[in-house]
């Protein structure tokens, strides 16, 4: 089996004035298709940096990173954008919904960037919205939704392109505990359907539901 993600001696340094911040100090790991993995660590551990690399929002200072067999380590922004659009579904803590668009329009947005034919966008978006249980809110705008409903829209938007992997950044961080639990239940269902899911978090509840955990501390993997 070829892993969805392979990282070899992954390094990321940032220059802040005269100071070099060593956010990642040489990490090695792999993630296989169909896994649900939690990337855990305290603030400053490097987990956000690692998320940006996996999400093709940044490139490493050194080392190799392969996503679905493609070495993206030295990709330019155009190539990174292509990988993001084709292979990665993002779910963010703050939802990142477009306030002037309704639920259907928000979920359709990635399909426009993926150049899916117009006639297919609505059908695929409606299917994704139904999957997360929001068909009765399809014409609502974000301000008319609860926090849990907004996160479900974000999940539908991530699913609509049928990505290789789903990357979630603190997906319950803006939700109360009961709503957060319902969102985690939805993630479990999506994983049971065969989706590859990576959740970046400091929440131990998320960690407890993932069979595999990658623990970061000071830019290094201390347990995996």
Q: What is the pLDDT of residue 118?
A: 87
Helix axes 177-192, 147-159, angle to 10 degrees: 20
pTM of the model: 0.91
Let me know: does 210 contact 39? Beta carbons within 8 Å: no
Q: What is the pLDDT of residue 152?
A: 96
Confidence class of residue 51 from pLDDT cuts 50, 70 and 90? Answer: very high
Q: What is the pLDDT of residue 64?
A: 96
pLDDT above 90 (res 224) = no
| DSSP-derived pairing of the beta strands 36-40 and 212-217 | parallel
Residue 87 tokens read as: 């292979």
Residues 6+ apart with CB under 8 A from 192: none
Let me know: does 151 contact 178? Beta carbons within 8 Å: no
Beta strand residue intervals within the chain, DSSP E: 5-16, 19-31, 36-40, 62-67, 70-71, 88-91, 165-169, 197-201, 212-217, 220-223
Residues 197 and 210: their CA atoms lie apart, in Å, by: 9
Q: Is 119 helix (H, G, I), strand (E, B) or coil?
A: helix
Q: What is the pLDDT of residue 34?
A: 94
Q: What is the pLDDT of residue 211?
A: 87
Residues 68 and 4: their CA atoms lie apart, in Å, by: 4
Let me know: does 170 contact 8? Beta carbons within 8 Å: no
Average pLDDT over all residues of the chain: 93
pLDDT digits (tens, 9 = 90+) for 54-108: 999 999 999 999 999 999 999 999 999 999 988 999 998 889 999 999 999 999 9
Q: What is the pLDDT of residue 50?
A: 96
pLDDT above 80 (res 123) = yes
From the list 59, 114, 123, 70, the residue with the least C-alpha distance to 89 is 114
Residues 153 and 199: their CA atoms lie apart, in Å, by: 17
Quick one: what percent of the chain has pLDDT higher than 90?
83
In 114-176, alpha helices (H): 118-131, 147-159
pLDDT digits (tens, 9 = 90+) for 187-206: 999 999 999 999 999 888 88
Query: What domains, with CATH codes, occur in the chain?
Result: 5-223 (3.40.50.300)
């Amino acid at each position: 089996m070829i892993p969805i993600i392979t990282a070899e001696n992954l390094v990321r340094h940032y220059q802040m004035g005269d100071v070099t911040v060593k956010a990642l100090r040489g990490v090695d790991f792999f993630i296989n298709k169909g896994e649900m993995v939690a990337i855990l660590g305290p603030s400053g551990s490097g987990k956000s940096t690692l998320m940006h690399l996996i999400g093709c929002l940044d490139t490493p200072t050194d080392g190799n990173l392969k996503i679905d067999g493609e070495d993206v380590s030295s990709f330019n922004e155009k190539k990174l954008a292509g990988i993001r659009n084709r292979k990665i579904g993002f779910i963010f803590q703050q939802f990142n919904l477009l306030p002037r668009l309704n639920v259907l329009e928000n979920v359709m947005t990635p399909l426009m960037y993926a150049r899916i034919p117009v006639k297919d966008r609505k059908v695929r978006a409606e299917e994704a919205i139904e999957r997360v249980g929001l068909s009765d809110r399809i014409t609502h705008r974000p301000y008319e939704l609860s926090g849990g409903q907004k996160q479900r829209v974000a999940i539908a938007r991530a699913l609509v392109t049928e990505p290789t992997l789903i990357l979630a950044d603190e997906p319950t961080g803006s939700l109360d505990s009961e709503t957060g639990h319902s969102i985690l239940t939805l993630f479990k269902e999506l994983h049971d359907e065969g989706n590859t899911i990576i959740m970046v978090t400091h929440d131990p509840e998320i960690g407890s539901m993932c069979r595999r955990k990658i623990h970061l501390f000071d830019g290094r993997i201390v347990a995996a």
